[in-house]
Each structure stands twice: as C-alpha cells, then as structure tokens.
Amino acid sequence: MGKPQLRDSAGRFASYLDGLAKVIGHAGRIGPMRDYCTGLLLPCERKSVEPIAAATAPERVGAQHQALLHFVAEGAWSDAVVLAKVREMVLPKIERHGAIEAWIIDDTSFPKHGAHSVGVTHQYCGQLGKQENCQVVVSLSLANHYASLPAAYRLYLPKGWAEDRKRRRKAGVPDEIYFQTKPKIALDQLAWACAAGLPRGVVLMDQAYGTDAALRRGARDLGLDYSAAVPARTLVEGGKGDQGKMTAQTLALGLPKRAWQTITWREGSAELLRSRFARVRVNARGEGCTPSEPEEWLLIEWPKRETAPTKYWLSTLSMNIAFDALVDITMMRWRIERDYQELKQEVGLGHFEGRGWRGFHHHATMCIAAYGFLISERGAIPPSEGRCEIFLPQPALPAGWRPRGAAAAA
C-alpha cells in the first residue's frame, strides 16, 4: 500500500472517530475514546488498558493508564448508543456488496484463571473445547456474503452469579439483569433487533441454540425465518411415506440415493467448498415442540467419505427455495467464526483484564467499533498486508517497558 493510500486510511479513521465522538457524551471522554480505539488497532501483544496506554502515550504512561482505565471501567457512556453509531457508519459499506441476508446467533468464551471477574464460572468453554473457568457472551451479528458486524453483545450471567447479591454489587451488575438461559438472551436480542428496525435476515443458529424449540418458535412469532442446526436425535415427522415420528438420522438413512445432491456453496481458502445434501419437508416433534409445529425443511449433510450423515438443520425458508440457495444461506453461519477469530486476534476482544460488568461491555463495544472500521477498509487493505497496523504508525515505547498483565485477570 502506497503512502497516499496510507494517508487516506488514516484520514478515514480520524473521520470515523469523529463520528463516534458525537455520541460518546461528555467532551472529556473524546480523547480517551480516540486513544482506546487507536490502541486496539496498533500491533500490541496485549490490548488491555496498560499496553494501550504505553502504545498511545509513551511519554506519560501512568496518566494515560488512569485516563483509559476510567474511560473503559467507569465511564457512564452507553454501549447501545455507540454500537448504533457503528452500525450507522459501517452497515452502508457492507450493504454496497448486497443486502443483509442473515442474522447470526452465537456465543464466544474467554478463559479466566480466577473466579472474581464478572460472570466467571466453571462451564463449557468453546475456545478450549472443554469445561473450564470462563466468561461466555451471547451475540447477534448482521451478515451478507461480504462481511458481518456484531449488533448485540451481552455477557451470560450464570445462576450462581445472578443470585449472589454481594458479587453482583461488587461487579456492578445492573439491577435489571437477571438469570436467563443463553437461548433466552438470544431471543431477547432478536426481539430487540426487530423493534429497532434493523435490516432483516434469516436467523442462523448452531446446535446449542437450534435445539431450543422455544427459541425457534420465538423467531417464527417475530416473523423471522431460520436455519437452525439440530442433533441427529431430533424427532421429526414427515417425508415421503409419512412413516410417523422418527429421529432425523433414521429419516436420513432411509432416503433413496436420488435424494442426495452434491452442492457447492462458496470458495474456501484453497478450493471450492462442496458436499452432499438432501432435504425433506417435515414437522418437528419432541421436547419443547407443540402439536402445531409448522412444516419446514430438514436439511441434511452427508459427505461422501463419511459413513453416516454429519449435520442436520431445520429451516422455515420457503417451500419453493432452490436447493442450492437453501444450502448457501444455511452455510453462511461460518461468518461468525471468522468474526470472532478476527475480533480476538486483531483487536483484542478477550484481552480486558478488569472484573466489572461495565468495563467488560465497554471494552467489547470499543473492539466492535474498531472492527467495524476494519470492515469499512476491507477493500483498501491488500490480503497480504496486516489488517491493523498498515495505516497507523507505531509509537516508540519507553525503554525497557513491559506490560505487567499478560495473563487473564482473575
């Protein structure tokens, strides 16, 4: 990237921060907001408060540390208002490449060594693939084939935390936050997005959410279509021959050979992605379902080298949708995996070392804001270049400086 392009990117970043400054509230927050967002895009090893302070103000690290810590941990600015401004600035850039097609529900986790950070408990940690001490966040992202952007983001508060007044008070958990399952948080996010008038898309869910019949029903009640991953044991009724209630796997294994088609849905990093799929009209049965469950698609994937089908989805998409279009929109859920990988690796989403509710969500909001700018610049950044550092000069750090907190906070 040449110097004119670097200057253009730096200028656009300054304008982007001007937009955020309009909604951050008190004028005293504007400087720390600019520095915090800038620090998230600099090539620091850790993107917690202290390294950001050292990177953005190397001649006055102590004072900068206090200013940034107050801004993120205590500042009384609204995450919702800032995220709305991010959407206002970034969604038009995404929609230049096509309308929003999907609303992606997911969660992500952050391992923690101790038990004092807000929401930490021993639970399944997707990042580690096992039960471990961690925080878990539920999010809703808006996506098309070009990019995706988180629109809602909330920490899951386990029951033990929700019912512990002392810990709640110490971590600053708002009074209106009470225990909710992750699917219930997701349903609230869908209802909020509908009420906010966000551009609609098909709701995409992995098994952790798709298995929840109440969440699927809630999405339908909001007028939303979905493609929801479900386990092989899911009970369904329908298909040719109408053999009564059976598991999705049993139905799939009984399909004739002609039911299976090889479908390509997108380009991967090295080759086109394709697999074998079948689809059947069914009614969901089983736990949480009502007798009036609608007829919907059961989409099944059975890769040729596998001895049995590997994935199943229930989808309310139109009976007349083309087979390849059904597969294409269902498989768009991969975008959220890319989102979280880049949010964690590029802008330090998991690097916050404070313990409070407000700081945890403020840090995430700034990360989403920084990530939104990267999405806006995607067409200007060559794939061979680093995503963050190409348009922001790296300040010289004080001689011998090292961050104190390289490990996750307790």
β-pairing, 148-155 vs 202-205, is: unpaired
Distance CA 395, CA 392 (A): 9
- Confidence band for 242, pLDDT divided at 50, 70 and 90: low
Q: What is the mean pLDDT of residues 326-341?
A: 92
Distance CA 36, CA 23 (A): 15
Q: Which of 70, 28, 77, 69 is nearest to 51 (CA)?
A: 69
- Residue-level pLDDT at 335: 87
Phi, psi of 308, deg, nearest 5: -155, 160
pTM for this prediction:
0.91
pLDDT digits over 90-110, tens only?
Answer: 999 999 999 999 999 999 999
**124: phi > 0 → left, psi -120 to 50 → alpha, else beta; which?**
beta
Over 70: is that where the pLDDT of 387 sits?
A: no
Task: Count the neighbouring beta carbons within 10 Å of the beta carbon of residue 68.
Answer: 24
Per cent of the chain over pLDDT 70 is 88
Mean pLDDT (the chain) is 90
- Helix intervals (H) in 101-181: 159-162, 165-171
Distance CA 359, CA 76 (A): 10
Q: What is the mean pLDDT of residues 321-329?
A: 97
Q: Are 203 and 189 in contact (CB under 8 A)?
A: no
| Distance, first Cα to last Cα, the chain | 41
pLDDT digits over 137-191, tens only?
Answer: 999 999 999 999 999 999 999 999 999 999 999 999 999 999 999 999 999 999 9
Instruction: Name the DSSP class of 26.
Output: S
| Sign, Cα dihedral of 18, 337, 347, 375 | negative
| Sign, Cα dihedral of 288, 183, 80, 358 | positive
Q: Are 390 and 9 in contact (CB under 8 A)?
A: yes
Q: How many CA atoms lie within 13 A of 190 on its CB side?
A: 30
- Confidence band for 240, pLDDT divided at 50, 70 and 90: low
- Residue-level pLDDT at 270: 61
Helices (H) and strands (E) counted in the chain, each on its own, are 14, 12
DSSP E strands in 207-355: the ranges are 226-230, 235-238, 245-247, 261-267, 272-285, 295-301, 311-315
